[in-house]
Amino acid sequence: MKQRTTLEYYVLDVFSNTSYKGNPLSVVFTDGDLELEVYQNIAKEFGYSETSFVYYSPAQKALNVRSFTPIGFEIDGAGHNLLGAVSGALLKKMPIFKDQEENNRFVMMKNAPIPLTVSFEPATGDPIVQMHQKQAVIKHQVPTYKIAIALGFKIEDLEIDMLIPTVVQTEVSHTMVPVRNSKLLNECIPDSKLLIEISKEYQFEGFYCFAVSDENQDHIVEARFFNPIIGIEEDPATGTAAGPLIAFLTKNRYAEVNKEYKILQGVKLNQPSVIEVMNREKDVLVGGSSVITMRGELYV
């Protein structure tokens, strides 16, 4: 019988400091690149919205991260997949920054460096990771009536001042969808087939639906995220959409430059997640906490 390889994994709940909340992510520790089919099989077996695979690359002097959805799609961008992967490596005490300067820390994803800032909770020592996404590009608008039909809204549910559904990109292009209030937000029932058609027609991935919060709440918006084109029906926390959203809100004067805000997501799924965001002059910071909920071994 062929000897099988054993790989260690952690399951982390990302954008949360409480187990079984936030966005679950499996982080698999490898010694280098695996066969594509192996990545895809493991991601399908876990069944989370994403599974990340990490190893330290001496040649790149950095942690190397690859992430896959359950349908085998390899994703790009600095979202919960990357934040959880870095947090997992730090919690495992991997010296992932040993060959890097303190003010120039980064990880590699699809051969592109993604800058990071890392601090640690004084009480617990747990890492708090901030990912530096690219400066946002505000792209084209998407007809409100099409999105309303696909998400089960009335057109007037999506009419808020001057906010109009708009495609925005930092790492990945998503459409920002303003919703009149959180009650409507949590009542919507999306039609995945129609969402996929709109994504293809207007050339973006997911739909980040958000309701602006009252001033007395500590989060600027509550959000839900749908991305069926890559196999994610609904995601409890989405870093690659949170970055574009804070840039979109800043452009429309709902937020200020260089000020930190919180986005609440995952309430409908009973997996509340808090994403910390800041729109700066040359980049967008997206960060938060992670907690290990499970660990184990898998066999290849």
Say whether 137-281 and 6-133+288-299 share the same fold. Answer: yes
* Residue corresponding to tokens 């700066």: 280
Identity at 91, one-letter amino acid code: L
The pLDDT value recorded for residue 110 is: 86
3-34: pLDDT as tens digits? 899 999 999 999 998 999 999 999 999 999 89
The pLDDT value recorded for residue 162 is: 84
213-245: pLDDT as tens digits? 998 899 999 999 999 999 899 999 999 999 999
Determine the average pLDDT of the residues in 52-60: 95
**262 alpha-carbon distance from chain centroid:** 14
280-291: pLDDT as tens digits? 999 999 999 999
The pLDDT value recorded for residue 277 is: 98
Phi and psi based region of residue 211 (left: phi greater than 0; alpha: psi -120 to 50; beta: remaining)? beta
Q: Which helix (H) or strand (E) holds 297?
A: strand 283-299
List % helix, strand, coil for the chain (3-state, nearest 5). Answer: 25, 40, 40
Strands (E) in 47-126, as ranges, are 51-57, 62-68, 105-109, 112-120
DSSP, res 2:
P
For the chain, the domains span 6-133+288-299, 137-281
Determine the average pLDDT of the residues in 121-128: 84
Cα–Cα distance measured from residue 220 to residue 229, given in angstroms and rounded to the nearest whole number: 28
* Pure H helices in 31-159: 36-46, 80-91, 144-151
Query: For residues 80 and 237, is the Cβ–Cβ distance under 8 A?
Result: yes
pTM for the structure as a whole? 0.93
Percent of the chain with pLDDT over 90: 88
Structural tokens at position 288: 């938060």
DSSP, res 32:
S
Domain 137-281 has CATH 3.10.310.10: yes
Query: For residues 81 and 89, is the Cβ–Cβ distance under 8 A?
Result: no
Domain 6-133+288-299 fold: Diaminopimelate Epimerase; Chain A, domain 1 (3.10.310)
Determine the average pLDDT of the residues in 36-65: 96
CA dist list (Å): 25 to 9, 65, 83, 86: 10, 13, 10, 12
The pLDDT value recorded for residue 217 is: 94
188-217: pLDDT as tens digits? 999 999 999 999 999 999 999 999 999 889
CA dist list (Å): 202 to 142, 152, 196, 252, 286: 7, 19, 10, 22, 25
pLDDT(116) > 90: yes
Longest dimension (CA), the chain: 66
In which band, very low, low, confident or very high, does the pLDDT at 278 lie, cut at 50, 70 and 90? very high
Cα–Cα distance measured from residue 131 to residue 102, given in angstroms and rounded to the nearest whole number: 15
The pLDDT value recorded for residue 1 is: 63
147-193: pLDDT as tens digits? 999 999 999 999 888 899 999 999 999 999 999 999 999 999 999 99
